[in-house]
Amino acid sequence: MPEAGIIYNDIKPTACRVAEELEQQLIQRGWTVRLATGAGGILGYSHPDRPTCHTPIDHLVPPNFTSQMKIAIVLGGDGTVLSAARQVAPCGIPMLTVNTGHMGFLTETYINHLSEAIDQVENDNYTIENRIMLMVRVYSERSQNTPQTQDNTKRPSIWEALCLNEMVLHREPLTSMCHFEIQIGHHAPVDMAADGVIVSTPTGSTAYSLSAGGAVVTPGVPVLQLMPICPHSLASRALVFNDSDPVTIYPVYPNQLVMVVDGNGGCYVSPEDEVVIEKSPYLARFIRLQTPEFFRILREKLGWGLPHIAKPTSVELP
C-alpha cells in the first residue's frame, strides 16, 4: 500500500479544501495518507531577548513522515514549498508541488490538473529533479581555525536551518552600511561594505538575489552566488563560486545584525558570532511530470526573453 504525505497552507481556504478532498481521493485509491501543515517548516523569528530561538533541522520533519513515503504533495505557493522542503528533505521524500498561490515559480502543476498528476505518479510516469540546499549555522564564538580545518560538527551552533533559496544577513533597519569579512573555501578573506549580503543557491538565483542585481543560474549548475546588497564600492559585485566551498561570514559591525533564511525565519547575529554556510547533505527532490524547461518558466513567470512589442522599422531615407 503506497504512502503519501500532504503538506498544505492552512491559512488559505482553497488549500485546506483541496487537502481534505485529496485525502479522501487517495484513501479511495488505496493510499495511506498523512497530513501536515506548512507552518511546521516555518523557522520563526528570534527576538532580542531570545536571539537563539530555533528548531534543529531534523526536528522539522512532521510526525509519521518517513523515508518510506512515495511522495509528499505540497498545496500552496512558493512559501509553502520552501517550508515543505525543510520538512521532508531530511527524509528524502519527493515533492509534488501544486500551485494554490500566485507566482508559483517552484510549483509543478495546478489544482485543476491534480487528478491527472496523481495518475502519472501512480504509473511511475515522472522524473525527480534534485535541487541543492544550504545548511546555515550560527556559532557564538569565533574559531581561530579556517573553515577547512575546523570541525563544525564538534562545536555546538546556537542557530541552524536548511535553506533552499538564500541566506540574507543585514542590518535592521536598512539605514546604513555594514562591514563584513567573508571567507570562501580556502581563499583569503575579503572585506565587503554593503547594506547586507546574500548567499543563494541556483534555485534562489531567481528570488532575492535576482532583485538585488544577481545573475540567473540554471538549476543543476554546481555553484553558489554571493551578492552584496547596495554595495558602497565599484569593486564589490556578485561572485559565483563552487558549491563545495563553505562560506564563513564575520560581521565587522558593533551592533547586532539580522539573518533571514528563505524569507521566513531568522536570528540575531552579534559582532562576536560567525555564520557558516555549507552545501547540505539533504536535497530538495521535485517530482517533474514533464521534461523540465527552465527557460520556459523564466519566460512565463518573469517575462525573460519575451520579444519586444515595438521594434524599429526600416525607413527609406530621402
Give residue-wise pLDDT tens across range 17-27. 999 999 999 99
CATH 3.40.50.10330 residue ranges in the chain?
3-132+283-302
- C-alpha distance from residue 253 to each of 258, 276, 280 (Å): 12, 17, 28
Assign 196 to helix, strand or coil: strand
**What is the pLDDT at residue 145?**
47
The string over 113-150, giving b where at least 16 C-beta atoms fall within 10 Å of a residue's C-beta and e elsewhere, is ebeebbebbbeeebeebebbbbbbbbbbeeeeeebeeb
What kind and span of H or E run contains 138?
A: strand 127-139
**What is the pLDDT at residue 41?**
83
For 306, other C-beta atoms within 10 Å of its C-beta total 10
**All cell numbers assigned to 81:** 514549498
Instruction: List the alpha helices (DSSP H) in the chain.
Output: 13-28, 78-88, 114-122, 208-211, 294-297
**What is the pLDDT at residue 292?**
86
CATH 2.60.200.30 residue ranges in the chain?
133-147+154-281
Catalytic one of 10, 78, 245, 273:
78
Cell 573555501 sits on residue: 185
**What is the pLDDT at residue 39?**
86
Please state the residue numbers annotated as binding site for NAD(+).
78-79, 165-166, 195, 206-211, 264
Q: Which fold has domain 133-147+154-281?
A: Tumour Suppressor Smad4 (2.60.200)
**pLDDT < 70 positions in the chain:** 44-54, 141-154, 173-175, 308-318
Mention every residue, 6+ apart, whose C-beta is less than 8 A from residue 293.
none
- The answer to whether the beta carbons of residues 87 and 41 sit under 8 Å apart is yes
**What is the pLDDT at residue 20?**
96
Mention every residue, 6+ apart, whose C-beta is less than 8 A from residue 42.
83, 264, 265
- C-alpha distance from residue 203 to each of 2, 40, 144, 219, 294 (Å): 30, 22, 33, 6, 11
Q: Which fold has domain 3-132+283-302?
A: Rossmann fold (3.40.50)
Q: Check residue 62 and report its DSSP letter.
A: P
- C-alpha distance from residue 96 to each of 2, 15, 85, 143, 316 (Å): 15, 14, 11, 41, 56
Residue 78 among the catalytic residues: yes
